[in-house]
Structure 1
Amino acid sequence: MKNFIPDNVSKYDNVYDVLKERGFIEQVTDEDAVRKLLTNEKIKFYIGFDPTADCLHVGHFMQVIIMMYMQKFGHTPVVLLGGGTGMVGDPSGRTDMRKVMDVETIDENCRQFKKLFDKFLDFDDEWKYEGNEGVYKPGHENKTPDPGKAISVNNANWLRPLNYVEFVREVGTHFNVNNMLRAECFKQRMVDGLSFFEFNYMLMQSYDFTVMARDFGVKMEFGGNDQWSNIIGGIDLARKMCDKEVYGMTFSLLTNSEGKKMGKTANGALWLSPERTSPYEFFQYWRNVADADVDKCLRMLTFLPMDEVKRLSSLEGAEINHAKEVLAFEVTKLVHGEAEAQKALDGARAAFAGGASTDNIPTTEVAAADFGGEGKGLVSLIKELGLVPSNGEGFRTIEQGGLSINGDKVTDPKLKVTADMFKDGEILIQKGKKKFVKVVMK
């Protein structure tokens, strides 16, 4: 059993109260009924993940953490991989249409997603969905999932084989277009244009919920707050098509104190794979969050007891940096393991305070020949290292006093980096207060 969550994470013994205490819950279809359901039964619930990339990012991780809480309290997470819905793409929260992917890419992305879920959830891999043969014919599971285990299913099983006319006759007749157009996910797209292709997405997601409620007893759908309209659609369809009473709950999106989504870096999304975002870069992101965001991040992204969350969040002045260090360590430990979290912590302390070893600071090897003679232009070098996006930005950074080499501020934007500037074959380049790269000559 993967034991990420300590028993003392909360004083409550109902997962609903735990999630509410941590600040996750945004909307619930029937709060009293849901709380009672989660108290009296161990249920199957699902969260859907469309395979828009070959890796999960921090936006997904919020949903993973919620599944971990549910599993901790004895419920069965159903990870729905969107091999069918991913062929269309969810318009919710989007200002443009998603890139259409081919089937091979979608299937490979689903496989990569499942590998990452295996790190955080215990699965019953012997369980499988034995598919239906169209809209009218129920399918079934091959067995009841082992108690306390998660299961994974791909909606390609029931969406890809569908006959379109049969689908719109049996499913489309239950949807009122006027009501659909009032949904927030569609409303914000009406100005720039919403394709009919995407308009089908709500029907597909609603059908997902209906199939799983009918065929293997899923009772709740969870999702980010942008999924509310799709979840309501599924609840209505399950009632109309198969007389099933099911429920929905949405969660706060991970946004900062200014209302902007967190998890975006200069290099794009903050990925959970070390190949896409290094553990050091991942650590640094959380170490550098705004003071106002520390409480929310500690509550939602760590499993520290609430008393400790409150204590750390109440720190002020320079002491808040300790809370940020704890946050960064705990989140990095959860995603990359304790050893990588410790390396990142040591590297950050070395870079910022001159203590400990610099071994764990991101390192780039360069050819010694590039630094012979007159050397190499510093601006060209920092652009190659990814510290600046352009030469112009490099010149501006130096002119504004934002660049240091081995702790000394650079004032000459035309400086050439030569071999004799390397100490024991290394130099440490720092941009601003937060970005460090160790350059090693080979």
Structure 2
Amino acid sequence: MNASHILDELSWRGLIHQTTDEHALRELLKTPQAVYAGFDPTASSLHCGHLLPLMMLRRFQQLGHKPIALVGGATGMIGDPSGKSEERVLLSEDVLAENVAGMQAQMSRFLDFSGAAAATLVNNLDWMGSWSYIGFLRDVGKNFPVNVMLAKDSVKGRLEQETGLSYTEFSYMLLQAYDFAHLSQEQNCLIQIGGSDQWGNITAGIDLGRRMHSRQLFGLTCPLLMTSDGKKMGKTAKGAVWLDPNRTSPYAFYQYWINVGDEDVLMCLRFLTEIAQDEYRTLEQAVASEPQKREAQKRLASWMTEFVHGSEGLQAAERATQIFFGAEIADLSDAQLTEIFHDVPSATVTAVELASGLSLIDALVHVGLAKSKSDARRTIQQGGANINNLRIDDVDYQVTATDLASETVIVLRSGKKKFALLRTSDSPI
């Protein structure tokens, strides 16, 4: 990073939404500080929504500060009402423990847990678990004015809805606030960061730290990762875009980012990548002058995929993408081909039929790429028939097991973009 101060780096990227006492915070951050962000373990994998706070912590670390990633083993049992229109389904302790372990393992890929500014991973169940209900009310709850809690946007919004707000969720603010007070004492952490929807929880923690320990604490929020039409980024028709390759493949991950619209791609480059300001300005100009080339999207997709899935993941994603533009299909697995061609039609033949040979004309009709045998014949004669992206112009061609692109799948194409899969009967899909 070229910026000498973390607030300067965050500022040009548009990552500062709100701060408490920015002048004092700037002075404090002239020396290395511990900074924490919290992550609720609602699943065993991080998803794209977690990338923004993770990258915030990473940026602090790169400029010499000490990040603390807090996984909410305790608060996850309650669920944060901020930004939610209804109460979450409560998870069991076993599921929460599994989720915490999965998230902890992933975080080590994004934060450095060694060196002078080593990151720390903490679980608030470690200090919350020993509290009794009476003890928490007496020592922590007495420091919370109810009128202040009711004034928080996360509470007001829910109270105005028919679903209302349970006492359980109402208490969430106390738990997160105590996390901040606890970390200020145990790890001298004076700064909490989070998304803009966390402002109420952060300021509650600042107030609690003052009341319990007479400490001045600071908060900083960043904008939420939202599309220009007000939707959360990292969501698809299939659900969240996960960082776990077993949930969202590197190819699907790459495709998500390369398909980001022109109106959102620059925000993503600023918020989520580490490209320098000079390169960003160049890409900004490319979006304005030659948007059809999608240079910014290509840079975003390649940077994000390599960052999350490594160079091998990026290479696999780029290879899969090239297949749609005519690259030969060979030496792939059934799973890889199914991922790439998840929304194209398919048909099945028996292994015996394939062993004895199936005419390409019949194959095109069978998978639905031709309406009739005469239609299929014309497609072949006109050079529009392809097997695994290799053109076949022989109308008498026999499709056999030697044409398999993976264990049990052959990819057929008619014209430039009409794909279908021919599977053998022992296909596991």
> Would you say same fold, with TM above 0.5?
yes
AA matched with 1:348:
T
Distance change (3 Å), C-alpha of 1:27 and 1:377: farther
Instruction: Work out which of the residue numbers 53, 56, 59 in structure 1 matches 2:46.
Output: 56
CA distance in 2, matches of 1:122, 1:21: 24
Query: How far 1:83 moved relative to its partner?
Result: 0.8
**Matching residue of 1:412:** none
Partner of 1:177: 146
Q: Is the 8 A contact 1:93 1:226 kept in 2?
A: yes
Give the residue type in structure 1 aligned to 2:264: D
Contact 1:81 1:152 in 2 (8 A): yes
Give the aligned partner of residue 11 of structure 2: 20
The equivalences for 1:315-394 within 5 A come to: 315=286, 316-351=289-324, 353-355=325-327, 362-364=336-338, 368-369=349-350
Quote the offset at 1:342 in angstroms: 2.2
Taking the TM superposition and a 5 Å limit, the aligned residue runs for 1:65-144 are 65-124=55-114
Which has the higher mean CA deviation after the structures are superposed, 199-208 or 364-373? Answer: 364-373
With over 3 angstroms needed to count, the CA separation of the structure-2 counterparts of 1:310 and 1:358, relative to structure 1, is farther
Q: Look up the equivalent residue of 1:14 and give its one-letter code.
A: H
**Equivalent residues in 2 for 1:405-420, closer than 5 Å:** none
Q: How big is each residue's C-alpha offset from its partner over 1:55-82, in whole Å with a ceiling of 9 and x where there is no partner?
A: 0000001111111111111111111111
Aligned to 1:234: 205
Residue 406 (structure 1) shift: 5.7
The answer to whether the Cα contact below 8 Å between 1:25 and 1:252 also exists between their aligned partners in 2 is yes
Tell me if 1:168 matches 2:140. no
CA distance in 2 between counterparts of 1:271 and 1:62 reads 13
Instruction: Determine if contact 1:347/1:359 at 8 Å carries over to the other structure.
Output: no
Aligned counterpart, 2:403? 424
Change (3 A) 1:370 1:261: farther
Question: Which whole-Å CA distance do the structure 1 matches of 2:59 and 2:419 have between them?
Answer: 36
Task: Give the counterpart of 2:28 among 28, 32, 37.
Answer: 37
Q: CA deviation at 1:220?
A: 0.4
Tell me how far 1:24 sits from its aligned partner.
1.2
Distance in 1, matches of 2:300 and 2:313, equals 14
The 2-side partners of 1:29 and 1:95 are apart by 27
SS of equivalent residue, structure 1 residue 32: helix
**In 2, are the aligned partners of 1:363 and 1:438 still within 8 Å (CA)?**
no
Pairwise CA RMSD of aligned residues? 3.0
2:126 is aligned, of 137, 157, 161, to: 157
How high is the TM-score relative to the length of structure 1? Answer: 0.78
**2:367 and 2:422 in contact (8 A); partners too:** no
- Following superposition, the deviation at residue 253 of structure 1 comes to 1.1
Percent of aligned positions that are identical: 39
Q: Using the alignment, how far apart are the partners of 1:278 and 1:322 within structure 2?
A: 23
Corresponding residue to 1:243 among 214, 237, 240: 214
Superposed CA deviations along residues 224-277 of structure 1, whole A, max 9, x for unmatched, are 111000000000000000111110001111111112111011211000010000
Q: How far apart are the structure 2 equivalents of 1:337 and 1:210?
A: 37
* 1:6-32 CA-partner distances (Å, limit 9, x unpaired): xxx43x211111011111111101111
* SS of structure 1 residue aligned to 2:69: strand
1:439 CA drift (Å): 5.9
Please say if residues 92 and 185 of structure 1, whose CA atoms lie closer than 8 Å, have aligned partners that are also in contact.
Answer: yes
Q: Helix, strand or coil for the counterpart of 1:46?
A: strand
Cα offset, 1:150, TM superposition: 0.5
Number of residue equivalences: 374
Task: Evaluate the alpha carbon distance shift between residue 70 and residue 420 of structure 1 in structure 2; reply closer, same or farther with a 3 A threshold.
Answer: same
**Deviation (angstroms), 1:440:** 5.4
Question: 5+ unaligned residues in a row in structure 1: which ranges?
Answer: 1-8, 125-145, 380-403, 408-418
- Shift of residue 294 of structure 1? 1.4
SS at match of 1:24: coil
Q: CA contact under 8 A between 1:405 and 1:427: conserved in structure 2?
A: no
- In structure 1, the partner of 2:248 is 277
Q: CA contact under 8 A between 2:79 and 2:88: conserved in structure 1?
A: yes
Structure 1 pair 360–330 and aligned structure 2 pair: CA distance change class (3 A): farther
Letter in 2 for 1:369: T
